[in-house]
Amino acid sequence: MKKLLILILGLLPIMAAAQGVERMYVSTDRSVYIAGDEIWCSLFCLDAATHKLSGYSAVSYVELVSAEGTVATAKISLMEGRGGGKFRIPAGTPTGNYRLLAYTARYPDAFAPGSKTVSVFNTTSTARVKGGVKIVSDYKAETAAPAPSNGVLSLSTREIPRTGKSFSVALKNNADAATLSFSVYEVDGIKEPAGGSMETFLQEIPSAGGTERSSKIGEYEGEVVYAAVEGLSALQLENLSGMAVATLSSAGSPSDVYMGKVGDNGRILFFTNNIYGDRELVCEVSGNAGYISLVDPFRYPSVGEPEPLELSQDLFADLVQRKAALETSLQVDTLVQFMTRRQDILLENVNKKVYHLDDYTRFPSFGEVIVEIVRELRIRSSYGKHRLVMIVPDAVGTRRVVKENILVMLDGVVISDLTLLENMDAMLLENVELYNEDIAMGGLSYHGCVNFTTKRNYVKALQFPSNVRVVDFKGVCYPVAYLGKPVGGKDYRPLLYWNPLMRLEAGESRVLSLTAPSRAGTYRMVAEGLTTSGKPIKEVFDFEIR
């Protein structure tokens, strides 16, 4: 096993060197939004040399950018070159055209041909992107769908859709197996900004030779979180190098625990399997000195000035309608369907024994819980400090084995100082979870694990020592789709369907059942993606709901 590990580690630099330049293409559910809307994204990560999907990076970084800078950021997980997620446009975003750019840590230069131009209207503020808005009096509404069919994909409706009624839409793939995003949404008198397509992206994608990759480590398994120890002198940092251990853990998730050794200049790398959702992370560095600061991974690129957004009094009625639809859009958040995501394997398939403390006589102190209920644990003392050990039978059950080096957590947060548990009200504890197997992470190993869970994530209320910081962390977006489930009451959904990761086999036909909203009007289907042979797809079909 050791020889195999050495071989794999030795091959990693070769694999990285052989990997071509990664380029990202972004598609979205729509092209026109109001501030406060959500943008639903679909990402295609391609190898620039082969124009095939790249399975190298496991996370991408997305920024919504105008000529004045970045207004929103997101992280989206990638699996075999494809990813999907959503994020909200801040309510204070100025009116204007923006570019939605994506990149990976290994190749972080934002490649403009793969970006998506979107229009944002702020209906509650007069703020506008400087130089990014053009006032016009002869505004011409968009009346027809762009781009004729290239025959790769056929889109249609099966019947005349009626408001509030079910109807069907059909897709037929006339080419090789394809991966694509598929959206059905309302269009009105507001122009959709001119943007690229997968075809132009492939034409403009550079060869593998012209781009220099960053010095960051490739994120094959998930995001690599960069951090540093702050609050110490250069000499203190030198003494910590190679000796101190740093931990990163998330309240409520015993699998989101990561460790790393402090390196030169106090630098730390946490190799994650992607931490999903926005979290409060507990960061600790051993030694009771200094604290951990996380490094911002976003690049905040300069993209120049997109074409100015045309603004006219003629848009008033359409913007009022879109503002009213925003409330319905918020209800869609509860109707999303979660898609496959990368799973953390820290405690996967590890045997677990659970003590549900309400099944026993309750005790007010932590020590009594250990002595009277959890017989596999013992509190030991050395050099004036308490620690927990685990006592379990050996493989044949003839004698008991004392496991000294075990990982202790409260609500998924690593606890290095047992007095934090000893001083808490044990009546707040709900379960004690015992993992009697070896666990390895960040170059460190433990002979077992115990996670104490509380009824209301009490860990957040603990008074941690000075070497511990609780920080807000922007995690990876959950991969989600909206498959058309209707909302109750007045239904003004502008988005009727969104699947960022649809796959159609060669020659496959698919029929989707949707429910029309309460408002009649023009609606649009857009399918965009790539066949397995590298042929681009962009199909648009407009229809009426009456």
Torsion of CA 152, 494, 41, 340, to 10 degrees: -90
Q: Give the separation between CA 331 and CA 487, rounded to whole angstroms.
A: 7
pLDDT value at 464 more than 90:
no
Residue 6 pLDDT: 35
Q: What pLDDT is attached to residue 410?
A: 94
Lowest mean pLDDT among 57-66, 160-169, 294-303, 451-460: 451-460
Give the burial class of 129: count Cβ atoms within 10 A of its Cβ; 0-12 exposed, 13-18 middle, 19 or more buried. Answer: buried
Residue 243 domain-assigned? no
pLDDT band at 146; cut points 50, 70, 90? low
The answer on pLDDT for 534 being more than 70 is yes
In the predicted structure, residue 19 carries a pLDDT above the cut 80: no
Q: For residue 419, tell me if it sits in a domain.
A: yes
What's the rounded mean pLDDT across residues 454-459?
Answer: 86
| pLDDT score of 251 more than 70 | yes
Q: What pLDDT, in 10s, does the model give residues 116-142?
A: 999 999 999 999 998 889 999 888 766
Q: What pLDDT does 229 receive?
A: 93
Judge if 150 and 50 occupy the same domain: yes
pLDDT at residue 211, as a whole number: 62
**Which of 451, 469, 489 corresponds to the end of one domain?**
451
The domain that contains 178 carries what CATH number?
2.60.40.10
Whole-number Å distance between alpha carbons of 191 and 139: 9
Query: Looking at per-residue confidence, does 317 or 253 come out higher?
Result: 317
Q: Does 382 score more than 90 pLDDT? A: no
Confidence of residue 9 (pLDDT cuts 50, 70, 90): very low
| Contact partners, residue 136, CB within 8 Å, separation at least 6 | 310, 311, 312
Domain boundary among 431, 451, 471: 451
pLDDT value, residue 55: 92
Domain containing 416 equals 352-451
For the entire predicted model, the pTM comes to 0.90
Strand locations in 6-164, DSSP E? 22-28, 32-34, 38-47, 59-66, 69-77, 82-88, 96-103, 116-121, 133-135, 153-157
Residue 487 has pLDDT above 50, yes or no: yes
Confirm whether 244 is domain-assigned.
no
Domains held by the chain: number: 2
Provide the 3-class DSSP secondary structure of residue 461.
helix
Q: Match 């694999």 to its residue by tokens.
A: 15
DSSP string, 178-196: EEEEEEEEEE-SSPPPP--
Sign for the pseudo-dihedral over CA of 283, 284, 289, 294 = negative
pLDDT per position as a tens digit, 397-409: 677 889 999 999 9
Does 384 share its domain with 526? no
Task: Please name the amino acid found at residue 192.
Answer: E
- Does residue 405 sit in the same domain as residue 539? no
Is a pLDDT exceeding 90 seen at residue 517?
Answer: yes
Indicate the pairing of strand 245-250 with strand 224-230. unpaired
Q: Is residue 258 part of a domain?
A: no
Q: Distance between CA 498 and CA 195 in Å, rounded?
A: 19
In a domain, 486, yes or no: yes
Do 26 and 124 fall within a single domain?
Answer: yes
pLDDT of residue 207: 58
The CA-atom distances, in angstroms, between 426 and each of 357, 373, 455 are: 10, 12, 11
Q: Please indicate, yes or no, whether residues 78 and 152 belong to a single structural domain of this protein.
A: yes
Position 210 confidence tier, pLDDT thresholds 50, 70, 90: low
pLDDT exceeds 50 at position 18: no
Distance of CA 276 to the CA centre of its chain: 5
Mean pLDDT of all residues in 361-372: 95
Average pLDDT, the chain: 88
Is residue 526 a part of any domain in this protein?
yes
pLDDT: is 513 or 239 the higher one? 513
Task: Report if residue 94 sits inside a domain.
Answer: yes
Question: Do 367 and 497 fall within a single domain?
Answer: no
Average pLDDT over residues 16-32: 82
Distance, in Å, from the CA atom of 118 to the CA atom of 80, rounded to the nearest integer, reads 26
Residue 351 has pLDDT above 90, yes or no: no
pLDDT band at 13 (very low <50, low <70, confident <90, very high): very low
Tell me, yes or no, whether 489 and 368 share the same domain. no
Query: Are 365 and 421 part of one and the same domain?
Result: yes
Residues in the chain: 546
Q: Which residue, 432, 451, 470, sits at the end of a domain? A: 451
* pLDDT above 60 for 53: yes
pLDDT confidence of residue 2: 33
CB 306, CB 117: distance < 8 Å:
yes
Tell whether 323 and 389 lie within a shared domain.
no
Which residues are registered as beta bridge partners of 451? 409, 433
Question: Do 359 and 331 sit in the same domain of this protein?
Answer: no
Which residues neighbour 6 within 8 Å (Cβ) at sequence distance 6 or greater? none
Co-location of 433 and 520 in the same domain: no
The verdict on residue 12 lying in a domain is no
* pLDDT score for 274: 92
| pLDDT greater than 70 at residue 438 | yes
User: Are residues 319 and 371 located together in one domain of the fold?
Assistant: no
